[in-house]
Structure 1
Amino acid sequence: MKGIAFVGKIWRILTVAGLTFSQALAQETKSGIPLDEPWKETVYEFAANNLQHMAWGLEHSERDYQLARVLAAGDGLEIDEDVLFAAAFLHDMAAFVPYAVAGEDHSKTGADEAGTILEPAGFPMNKLPSVQGAIRAHMYYAEVPAEPVAQVLHDADTLNFLGAIGVTRIISLTTREGLAKDLPTAVATLENFSRQLPASLVTATAKAMAADRVQEMESFLAALRNQSADGRAL
């Protein structure tokens, strides 16, 4: 019966998250992150079932996790993989009902609520404060503590607003969110992000990546202006 239950759990993840059969059998996420602990399977399944969004859903969390590891390696930072996994996949949970609290920053709410998902999943709860700190600090405007996971998650999340992926995310929000209520507003957001966000980065590796990503955005925006009467025909 335990084997049947395990297969059922894998198939639920497979169906919701769009994993390949080989990925499901290998117990890894769609981007290849190992689900090598039962609690990781549970957290990933929770995210796959409840945190789906075109700009800050499951795939965004996968990108944040993968990029955060690259940044840590680039800066020679030693990180706790458990803390990073938990924070990466739950950092935006309070952007979703029923976790969102009106008038409260989703970073704070998400940090407060993370334990309600992690404890029953079997996460080592002595690490919860580090997870909460990383979630609180993940946004580009946040004050970032001198804690490696918080730093690399913050920078990874900020870099996800830059470059081709940043353009894709913001454009996908057009008519759905205030920062992209229409195409001109979305373009203005992209212009502001390309100018302002690099200064909020902490790690040297992220700062180097940001330069390339800003160039990608500027090339896109220049082409868009050229093809839309300098933005007047968007």
Structure 2
Amino acid sequence: MERELEALARELSIPYYEAALPAHDSFHANRVRDLSLRLADECGDAVDRDVLSAAAWLHDIGRPLERTGEIDDHDEWGAGEAADLLAAEGVATDRIAAIEHCIRAHSIRASSPEPETLEAKLLFDADKLDATGAVGIVRLACIVGERSGRTGEKHAVIDDSSVQRPATADRPDVSLLREWARERLDELYTDPGRRLGASRWEFTESFFARFADELGVEGER
């Protein structure tokens, strides 16, 4: 049943990601699936991998609609949509409820419920870890790019606030990416997630140190 449910969830999710931008597309969902199962292997407790994999594929199906303003909360909408899709395929109600909770609780926004199950915590951690390290830096840069130039928002610049340049001092800069990554790592729930997060943070710090050098903050090496 595990492979069947995961395959079903993947099949159901893919059409929703066709309009997604790179930071929240089907490749992101696949990475989160892989990461969540890796964390599950390392946590030492029994994990419903069936539920976890399905939730990973479905967790961001509402992102494209949220981005265009058609819905307000991709977590809430996505959980309900996933539940309807799975129910139509005859998936057991307890499995649907477990997947629905994972999706509702995967965000760091204040309105999201706390993840209560191990599967929800693993999905949360995997999703946040995909915003750290080398992949995370690229993803966060994509997110900044998506937001730049929207009505009422200023364009982000490739710069660093530690360098005093009046022309860019009032605009978002790359230090925002570092803050976003740190914010997500500080919220992790599981020991395997925190261990992997620490490793990825080392790379993140080294990247921004190099970035500062290239801007001439301390002299490029």
TM-score (norm 2): 0.77
Aligned match of 1:74: 42
Is 1:90 aligned to 2:77, yes or no? Answer: no
1:72-118 CA-to-partner distances (Å, cap 9, x unmatched) read: 22121212222112211111111123997656321111112212222
Shift of 1:132: 1.1
Is contact 2:75–2:105 with CA below 8 Å preserved after alignment?
A: yes
Shift of 1:35: 8.4
Is 1:54 aligned to 2:22, yes or no? Answer: yes
Aligned match of 2:162: none
Which of 179, 195, 199 is equivalent to 1:208? 195
Moved more, 212-221 or 165-174: 165-174
Is contact 2:60–2:74 with CA below 8 Å preserved after alignment?
A: yes
Specify whether residues 103 and 44 from structure 1 end up closer, same or farther in structure 2 by C-alpha distance, changes over 3 A only.
closer
Is 1:219 aligned to 2:186, yes or no? Answer: no
Q: Which amino acid aligns with 1:85?
A: S
Aligned match of 2:147: 177
Moved more, 162-171 or 121-130: 121-130
Q: Which amino acid aligns with 1:207?
A: R
Cα distance in 2 between the residues matched to 1:102 and 1:40: 28
Is 1:134 aligned to 2:108, yes or no? Answer: no
Aligned match of 2:91: 123
1:165-185 CA-to-partner distances (Å, cap 9, x unmatched) read: 110111233432259942343
1:4-27 CA-to-partner distances (Å, cap 9, x unmatched) read: xxxxxxxxxxxxxxxxxxxxxxxx
Could you say which structure has the greater relative contact order, defined with CA pairs below 8 angstroms and 6 or more residues apart? 2
Cα distance in 1 between the residues matched to 2:195 and 2:146: 32
Shift of 1:194: 3.5
Cα distance in 2 between the residues matched to 1:219 and 1:99: 32
Aligned length: 196
Cα distance in 2 between the residues matched to 1:181 and 1:47: 32
1:26-59 CA-to-partner distances (Å, cap 9, x unmatched) read: xxxxxxxx9832x544432333333143111111
3-state DSSP of counterpart to 1:202: coil
Q: Which amino acid aligns with 1:139?
A: S
Q: Which amino acid aligns with 1:36?
A: R
Which of 23, 36, 51 is equivalent to 2:3? 36
Is contact 1:164–1:217 with CA below 8 Å preserved after alignment?
A: yes
Counterparts of residues 135-174 of structure 1 (less than 5 Å): 135-141=103-109, 142-174=112-144
Question: How large is the RMSD of aligned CA atoms in angstroms?
Answer: 2.8
Q: Which has the higher helix share?
A: 1
Aligned match of 1:25: none
Aligned match of 2:80: 112
Q: Which amino acid aligns with 1:160?
A: D
1:125-144 CA-to-partner distances (Å, cap 9, x unmatched) read: 33111111100111234443
Cα distance in 1 between the residues matched to 2:208 and 2:12: 37
Identity across the alignment (%): 27
Specify whether residues 157 and 165 from structure 1 end up closer, same or farther in structure 2 by C-alpha distance, changes over 3 A only.
same
